[in-house]
Amino acid sequence: MRLVSKSQYKRMPWKNGQGFTDEIAISPEGAVFPSEPFVWRLSAATVSAPNTFSQFPGCDRWLAILQGSGLSLNGKPLQSGECVRFSGEDKVACVPIAGEVTDIGLIFDRAKVEARMEFRSLDSGANVLDLVGERHYIVCARGEFSYQEMQVFEGDTIEVMGSTAIPIQTTSEAMAIVASICGTALVL
């Protein structure tokens, strides 16, 4: 288990050059995105103007709103608290609903791994997150929480390995985005 603070994310241009993303994690570790093959990639992107998503043949994508009012994806709204999965081959036009938005995106090779993404509400006090899968990334979407000796602030991520139940402590209500990955090609 490890903490990846927001300040450690690796900034890079989108594949289509229309914006920038902050890479949180990639497999295999050290792969140069998008020029080198990858199995999966988790990142946070800021969307401040209408654009189109980069296409990733052979991959599926998960997307969730981290900050902001939401995005319109091909005319369908995606708001905070919702996650959407779509094909990397899809042509997706994206428009911020009301000002700048930061999203969390997970792109994965559907022939090598399976992935899921969901929001989890955290009540004030003690919480337990039951995690099923091989690798999990818990992004603090709102508020802050602690796990063991780590303080996790808004936008930070913790990586947890294996199916487990982890105790999370909060001083007020918080929200997390949990991305889980499993499959035979799971390397980092």
| pLDDT for res 33 | 78
What pTM was computed for the model? 0.91
Q: Which helix (H) or strand (E) holds 21?
A: strand 20-27
Q: Residue 83: its pLDDT value, please?
A: 95
Domains 2-113 and 115-182 share a fold: yes
d(CA 54, CA 71): 16
- Residue 187: what pLDDT? 45
Tokens of 19: 């914006």
DSSP character string of 128-186: EEEE-SSEEEEEEEESEEEETTEEEETT-EEEEESSEEEEEEESS-EEEEEEEEESTT-
Which residues of the chain, if any, have pLDDT below 50?
Answer: 185-188
Residue 34 structure tokens:
């998008």
Please tell me the CATH code under which domain 2-113 is placed.
2.60.120.10
Q: What is the pLDDT of residue 184?
A: 55
Q: What is the CATH number of domain 115-182?
A: 2.60.120.10
Question: How far is the C-alpha of 141 from the C-alpha of 144, rounded, in Å?
Answer: 8
- List the chain domain ranges: 2-113, 115-182
- How much is the pLDDT for 186? 47
Each residue of 96-111: pLDDT tens digit?
Answer: 998 999 999 999 999 9
